[in-house]
Structure 1
Amino acid sequence: MAATVRLYRVDVTYDHQCFGCGANNPQGLQMRFEPLSGESVCEYVVPQRYQSWEGMIHGGVVALMLDEAVGWAAWHADRPGVTGKLEVRYRQALKSGERIRVVGRIDRARRSLSYASSYIERVADGARIAEATAVLMTKEAAVL
């Protein structure tokens, strides 16, 4: 079922084709985030097809997962929006086949902007793989 929300002066419909979380996109990651204690959380194993160097997941895919996490955090906080800025810090390589936890949260909200952060950690030992900070534009702040 498609959900429509009013963003950047137009109605935007989520049609389940998103590359990061769309259940109907067979080429995408199909991540599923759940709200948990004020955060949005997804446990995931990244398939080998998203690698760059042998056995290592492409950095752009890592950034995509961090962006998905802040986007879902905004959605779960009832502040849906689009990313205006995403700053990523890579701490170590993400290996294909590793079980990871991707977490996003809204750190503060102001009018039509949400300031958020996200991180990826390895489930086995809690080691931080990457983290990001973001500014999301909600409602009328975003302009096409």
Structure 2
Amino acid sequence: MEDYHMGYDYKKEYIRWKEWKDREEKILRQHHFNEQKIEELHEFDLEQFNAERRFRRNQNVTKDIFFYMQPVHDKKESYSIEDLLDQIENETLFEYLKYTDSIVLDIIILKQHGYNVREISQILGLSMSSIYRKIKKIKELLKM
């Protein structure tokens, strides 16, 4: 299982990507593929790798035990804001959520139902950075 407390290891992932890319380019050259096309593919794949890296680096901010989706057989799932508030044991977090705007509560409920930040952004019509900021504030309250 992936360790969610570790950041994205760019160097390790780049080495893995580079090894894969070298094998692919070797095969293309063995089949006399155009060298210019090989270079264009290399640049395209590198752009895709970097886009994934940026996404994965930003994604870590939402990984916390608070958002883990684990099967719970003896508890009812949170489907409403009232249910969510009833389940919170951290008093500071409870007070914050009790008086916060409904968008924060919607974000939490959507996260609990497995939506990612990009999907939540589309559903609520907010920027992804705004959602990340709200989640970060909740995480800070959880540490108190």
User: What TM-score do you get using the length of structure 1 for normalisation?
Assistant: 0.28
Per residue, is there more helix in 1 or in 2?
Answer: 2
